Amino acid sequence: MKLGKSYMPAIISLNDFKSQLVLSPSTWIVEYNDNTHLENDTYIKLGRIEVEEVSPDGTAYYSFLPTAMRATPGETAGAESDCLEAQLKEAWKITDTGKKEEIEAGKRALNSAPRIIIDQLIEATVRLGLVPVEFEINDSDFSKKSYATVIFDTNALRDGSIRHLKEQFPYMQLWTTIPVVSLMEIGERTESIRSRASKGTDKNKHTLIRVRAQATVAPQEIKWIKDNFPHETLELAPELLRTFRGFEKDNDPDRSSINDRLILECIKDMRRQRGLPKGVYLMSGDKGVSRLAQLEGLQTIYPARPDPENFTERIYSARYSLGARAFIVCSMHRLLWDLAHVFSKVRTRCTSGSQAGQSVELFYYYPTKLVNDWMDDKLEVSEIGPSSPANAV
């Protein structure tokens, strides 16, 4: 497939996508569709990309402006219809039907969905290096160390924090350790998503957005970690293994706490067996887990991310890294690729410039996906020709 010449979908890699979608200064609308909680022809706008300049080597420099969660007081009706809350309300046709349970369920979904979407946009932009993170490390001498052992919890395996740590401490040797509990969680979550997604469309399934990256992005991050760092898998004692909790009951309050406890016990066992009182750090994007680990005498690395309520600033594709002493650029292709992993199906429509009218769709869960496609991270990419905004909410 050559984008711009064919409308047939093709199963391609990210590198193929980069070579086939050639960009010029233009404006693109980014939308998603997920048939777990949206009808097939309904798209929710995630934001707008402005391709501002293309260098002679083909690098496109752009900015990404995310859609607001909710309309702020005083905005016009037109502005209100563009926010996530208004789009979802229209997509789900949430109106006063007179049925109390239906109305309450719709309100609950509408109350949580915009925040979940923004949370995942933040995580994606952090993972891709578009937004830097500030690390909170409970070791004042960390920057002076030449070596550290980093153990990931499941959150840290999906948010790309290790990339930022290596960028900020480029001369530190990092030994990476992945608990078997985290691998089990990823496997369980993958099956849970597959099972729930196969049971039809329901607006209350929007919560799958929050956990999908654990099944789609985390395996790719693990592969990247293993390709770039010395690594090992941290095993769990057999007598503790039987206490692992799966995801068959999504509202079970004990599930996460038990699995977090197992990871902490893994770390304690490793420190005891190897005589490592210091220099072992739990990397976690969960504040609660980090606090608990510190209370139990463990050293932690917590990547602080932007506040979702204030995530309205324009994000630029290039930023200067003090640690790396260089500019870091994330391609627009990679941004779209990552979003497809999180939101299932992502469409981008060009609304201005020489490519106006062009529309490209990336689909993660295409029906014919084979094992090698999962391992090689291939998506179904199709150009759907001049698109009509009428299909978008």
| Residue-level pLDDT at 361 | 96
Residue carrying structure tokens 């702020």: 72
Residues 6 or more apart whose Cβ sits within 8 Å of residue 360:
3, 21, 336, 347, 348, 381, 382, 383, 384
Q: At what angle do helices 180-197 and 253-274 cross, to 10 degrees?
A: 160
For residue 72, pLDDT over 60 is answered with yes
**Residue 77: strand, helix, or coil:** helix
Of the listed ranges 119-133, 144-158, 187-201, the one predicted with least confidence: 187-201
**Structure confidence at residue 254 (pLDDT):** 53
Checking if the pLDDT of 168 tops 70, the result is: yes
Q: Reply yes or no on whether the pLDDT at 81 is more than 70.
A: no
Q: What letter would DSSP give residue 43?
A: B
Question: Residue 79: what pLDDT?
Answer: 46
All structural domains of the chain with their residue ranges: 10-129+311-391, 134-304
Give percent of the chain above pLDDT 70. 87
Answer whether residue 196 shows pLDDT above 90: no
The number of beta carbons lying within 10 Å of the beta carbon of residue 180 is: 16
Q: Is 50 exceeded by the pLDDT of residue 1?
A: no
State the Cα–Cα distance between residues 178 and 62, nearest whole angstrom.
35
> What's the number of CA atoms in the CB half-sphere (13 Å) around residue 39?
10
- Pick from 66-80, 165-179, 345-359: least confident: 66-80
Nearest to 174 by CA among 129, 220, 247, 226: 226
Question: Which residue stretches of 38-158 are H helix?
Answer: 77-80, 84-91, 100-127
| Cα–Cα distance measured from residue 43 to residue 290, given in angstroms and rounded to the nearest whole number | 37
Distance CA 84, CA 71 (A): 8
Cα dihedral 215, 13, 130, 387 sign: negative
**What is the DSSP track for 171-206?**
TSEEEEEEEHHHHHHHHHHHHHHHHHHTT---GGGG
Q: Angle 254-249-221 (CA atoms, 0-180°, nearest 5)?
A: 85
Copy the structure tokens of residue 53. 């300049």
Q: What is the pLDDT of residues 251-265, one digit of tens each?
A: 454 566 778 888 898
Integer CA distances (angstroms), 311 to 38, 72, 114, 172, in order: 24, 13, 12, 32
Residue-wise pLDDT for 276-301, tens only, equals 878 899 999 999 999 999 999 999 99
- The fourth-level CATH superfamily of domain 134-304 is 5'-nuclease (3.40.50.1010)
In terms of Cβ atoms closer than 10 Å to its own Cβ (0-12, 13-18, 19+), residue 246 is middle
Contact 290, 300 (CB under 8 A): yes
pTM of the predicted structure, to 2 decimals: 0.88
Res 340: pLDDT: 97
Rounded CA-CA distance 175/232 in Å is: 8
What letter does residue 325 receive in the DSSP assignment?
T
pLDDT for the residue 386: 52
pLDDT at 14 over 90: yes
pLDDT in the model for residue 391: 38
Collapse the DSSP code of 114 into the 3-class scheme (helix H, G, I; strand E, B; otherwise coil) and give the result.
Answer: helix
269 pLDDT tier (thresholds 50, 70, 90): confident
Q: What is the pLDDT of residues 318-338, one digit of tens each?
A: 988 776 777 889 999 999 999
On whether the CB atoms of residues 108 and 157 are closer than 8 A, the answer is: no
Copy the structure tokens of residue 40.
């097939």
Single-letter amino acid code for the residue at 211: V
The per-residue pLDDT for 241 is 62
| pLDDT-derived band at 237, boundaries 50, 70, 90 | confident
In this structure, what token pair is assigned to residue 129?
């290096």
pLDDT tens, residue by residue, 41-52? 899 999 999 999
Read off the tokens for 106.
Answer: 């719709």
pLDDT band at 149 (very low <50, low <70, confident <90, very high): very high
Mean pLDDT of 164-169: 91
Res. 369: pLDDT tops 70:
yes
The pLDDT value recorded for residue 253 is 47
Q: Beta strand pairing status for 280-283 and 147-152? A: parallel
For 89-105, what is each residue's pLDDT tens digit? Answer: 999 987 766 577 777 87
